[in-house]
Chain A
Amino acid sequence: MRETKGYLDMELLRFTTAGSVDDGKSTLIGRLLYDSKAIFEDQMELLEETSNQRGEEGVNLALLTDGLRAEREQGITIDVAYRYFATPKRKFIIADTPGHIQYTRNMVTGASTANLALLLVDARHGVIEQTKRHAFIASLLQIPHIAVCINKMDLVGHSQKAFEKIKSEFEGFASKLEIKDVHFIPISALNGDNVVDRSKNMNWYEGSTLMHLLENIHIGSDQNHVDCRFPIQYVVRPQSPEFPDYRGYAGRIEGGVFKPGDQVTVLPSGFISKIKSIDTFNGEVTEAFSPMSVCITLEDNIDISRGDMLVRENNKPTVEQDIDVMICWMNEKKMIVGGKYTVRHTSQTARCIIKEVKYKMDINSLHRNEEDREIGLNDIGRITIRTTKPLFFDSYTRNRNTGSIVLVDEATNETVAAGMII
């Protein structure tokens, strides 16, 4: 099933795994690759050898993504592994993430760029706190599609009742979340039931296999093509004999569609100009949309630098210094209210102060806890920050690219939080 013809115009689907430790995420990815014949013979030999040495029965497919020494020693996933495969229909980028609560930040890393999440649930245990945490994170990150894979069906006698019970349990919880598109699939990652091939043990299930879903789910509308946003990343000034006066603004379109001749407004200065050309190495283009990387030249010679943004006069982002954010805290050092952090947003870097914590989320009940507002490792909460200069942003729900921030600790330089602007 590996790629051959038609490869030059295939679509890309990025998906991530989620769910509690040992629910079978890595095994599922191994199974998916194995059954779609995307594992090479030498990789397979190594897997067999390693599984043998470890005294395991058969081949442990989880070893395909659990590639670090420490992961193999402990039998768990610690950090995201990226895997790739293609079918004649699509090319896939998989992020296999850890389920252990200690490594939630790595789960968030893998999930932040995904169009779809495979949320695994152990059929014996049902929806547990970590399932809820990951479902909540997936909804916060606005992953458009979620496939709830109820796994280890072999251990519950492939029972429809067990499946239906977990399905309604999850639906009860998910009704409080913003998840647009949910699918439920009963699987056995270990034996391959309903992964690539339809299960012979669960005739009661009439939905599609996981692979069928991955190949056919509609992903065309996941980008914002409405609000024009072009953050300047880098100014190209060759100052060469061939291009003595060229001044181009390099960056990636983060929303909307830009065309030569369009009138644009520069933030923060407010100057108005017209797009002269949209350049690429292969020549000028007649339109540019998200996520294209291009270089834009303007009719007027105005002072523009990294961090500025080109937008439309009648469709501007919010320009503000006081910003409400949902935050996932990812560092052992607790968040300090009144503390100062560096904030990264589009191509901007600013400093900010944490003004207040509005509430902390109770993951189990989805209640807003307004008593305990201390935000530490793996906590999620709503906060207000004040930045040293205005940021140009949209709400995360409207545009993932212009609605996301990260906070950086100024002493250690570590990335300590992921934020979604409300």
Chain B
Amino acid sequence: MSSYNLTHLKELESEAIFILREVAAQFEKPVMLFSGGKDSIIMFHLARKAFHPGKIPFPLMHVDTGHNFPETIEFRDKLMVETGETLIVKYVKDSIDKGTAVEETGINASRNGLQTVTLLEGLEEGKYDCAMGGARRDEEKARAKERFFSHRDEFGQWDPKNQRPELWNLFNGRKKMGEHFRIFPISNWTEMDVWQYILQENIELPSLYFSHKREVINRDGVLLGKCDYIALKDTEKWEERTIRCRTIGDMTCTGVAESDADTLEKIIEEVATTRFTERGGRADDKRSEAAMEDRKKEGYF
């Protein structure tokens, strides 16, 4: 490579930083969604880089279903203490108690869909005009279609058939009162880029991503970790396996994978050779062919 070429990781980093700064400049009250997963952690790291040596000029918001892996919450709280940044937590339980969200029942009950309600309430309450998310286009086919600056109407809905043109790096964040934007600074990153970047930057992650022993059940081909929120069928019982998480979401719907990868190098090796997508283990995406598109239209991340 010539001396004036960036590696692709540097180019992706520069693109994400550019977008984060554009958000800070174009919006009055942005907020960054933070789930405690690797994509959120990367986005947070990029935000610290973008405004260094200043602080991040917007708060973070976690929509907490109450069904998280305890390791995620522990990690999240420690990270905020260490960096001195601000995190707001919105609880799905509060929406359920208020009656704006209704708890699902049955064996596969999940609070995943209810997050949308709490998220929209949280955005409205805080009068946020823009929410940044760590979604990547390589995760899912509806996400592959989304713009960096994704416009939402006053109900938070996405209209995939009528997205604004997005040219070069000239982002248009203009909107009417009550409308807002979802912005995805790491749209162009793949799972592999994320892991390589974590290695390159030496970024700390929740222990869940590394191989460990855990009690699990196998439900329809998806391994679910033991927790109080999963009711067992008669035929099911917890058994110990050596696993790690490829993505982190709710314990009720995040499939874990059997793996011995206990270092970043081994994880990268594993990601390079795997024959399955990262979200292949997510029960929330498996509900129907267009599950993600439908959830996004309603205002999901």
Interface residues of A (CB under 8 A from B): 2-4, 7-12, 40-43, 46, 50, 64-65, 67-70, 78-84, 86, 91, 93, 105-106, 108-109, 112-113, 220, 223, 225, 233-234, 236-238, 240, 242-243, 246, 248, 250-252, 257, 279-282, 289, 291-293, 295, 306, 330, 342, 344-345, 347, 400-401, 404-406, 408, 413-415, 418
Contacts and interface: CB of A to CB of B under 8 A. Distances in A.
B163 interface: yes
Interface string B203-224: 0000000000000000000000
B280 interface: yes
Contacts of B147: 109
A65 B144 contact: yes
Nearest to B166: A109
Given A40-B277, A243-B54, 11 more contacts: A2-B272, A40-B280, A82-B144, A233-B25, A236-B51, A279-B52, A279-B53, A280-B49, A406-B165, A415-B167, A415-B172
A413 B52 contact: no
Interface string B159-172: 01101111111111
A418 B11 CA distance: 24
Contacts of B71: none
Contact of A306 (B25, B137, B138, B275): B25
A109 B144 contact: no
B227 interface: no
Interface in B7-32: 7-15, 17-18, 21-22, 24-25
A77 B176 CA distance: 29
Given A10-B8, A40-B280, A42-B276, A237 B54 contact: yes
Interface in B183-197: 187-188, 190, 192-193, 196
Given A67-B142, A289-B4, A406-B170, A240 B55 contact: yes
B159 to A, nearest CB: 11
B141 interface: yes
B178 to A, nearest CB: 13
A68 B160 contact: yes
B237 interface: no
Q: How many of chain B's residues touch chain A, expressed as a range?
A: 35 or more
A108 B165 contact: yes
Given A40-B275, A42-B277, A406 B14 contact: no
Interface string B276-301: 11001000000001100100000000
B185 to A, nearest CB: 11
Contacts of A405: 170
B83 interface: no
Majority secondary structure of chain A interface residues (helix, strand, loop or mixed): mixed
B226 interface: no
Interface in B39-92: 48-55
Interface in B230-261: none
B170 A344 contact: yes
A38 to B, nearest CB: 10
Nearest to B137: A82
Given A79-B160, A84-B188, A233 B18 contact: yes
B165 A347 contact: no
Interface string B129-161: 000000001101110110100000000000011
A220 B52 contact: no
A78 B273 CA distance: 33
Contact of B273 (A2, A234, A280, A415): A2
B14 A233 contact: no
A81 B5 contact: no
Nearest to A104: B165
A246 to B, nearest CB: 6
Contacts of A246: 53-54
B21 A251 contact: yes
Interface string B260-278: 0000000011001111110
15 contacts: A3-B272, A11-B5, A12-B8, A67-B141, A67-B293, A82-B144, A84-B190, A109-B166, A220-B2, A237-B54, A250-B21, A291-B11, A401-B168, A413-B174, A415-B167
Interface of B: 1-2, 4-15, 17-18, 21-22, 24-25, 48-55, 137-138, 140-142, 144-145, 147, 160-161, 163-172, 174-176, 187-188, 190, 192-193, 196, 200, 268-269, 272-277, 280, 289-290, 293
Contact of B174 (A10, A83, A330, A342): A342
A242 B164 CA distance: 42
Given A81-B145, A220-B5, A8 B196 contact: yes
Contacts of A238: 53-55
B250 to A, nearest CB: 20
Contacts of A243: 53-54
B270 to A, nearest CB: 11
Contacts of A248: 53
B4 A401 contact: no
A46 B50 CA distance: 39
A280 B55 CA distance: 14
B277 A43 contact: yes
Contacts of A415: 164-167, 172
Contacts of B25: 233-234, 306, 347
Contact of A79 (B52, B145, B176, B272): B145
A281 B49 contact: yes
B273 A236 contact: no
A279 B51 CA distance: 11
Contacts of A280: 49, 52
Contacts of B145: 67-68, 79-82
Contact of B187 (A78, A82, A292): A82
Nearest to A105: B165
Nearest to B140: A67
A395 B4 CA distance: 22
Contact of B14 (A11, A234, A292): A292
Contacts of B50: 250, 293
B5 A418 contact: no
B165 A345 contact: no
Contacts of B137: 82-84
Nearest to A7: B196
Contacts of A46: 289
A413 B11 contact: no
A252 B14 contact: yes
B192 A7 contact: yes
B275 A233 contact: no
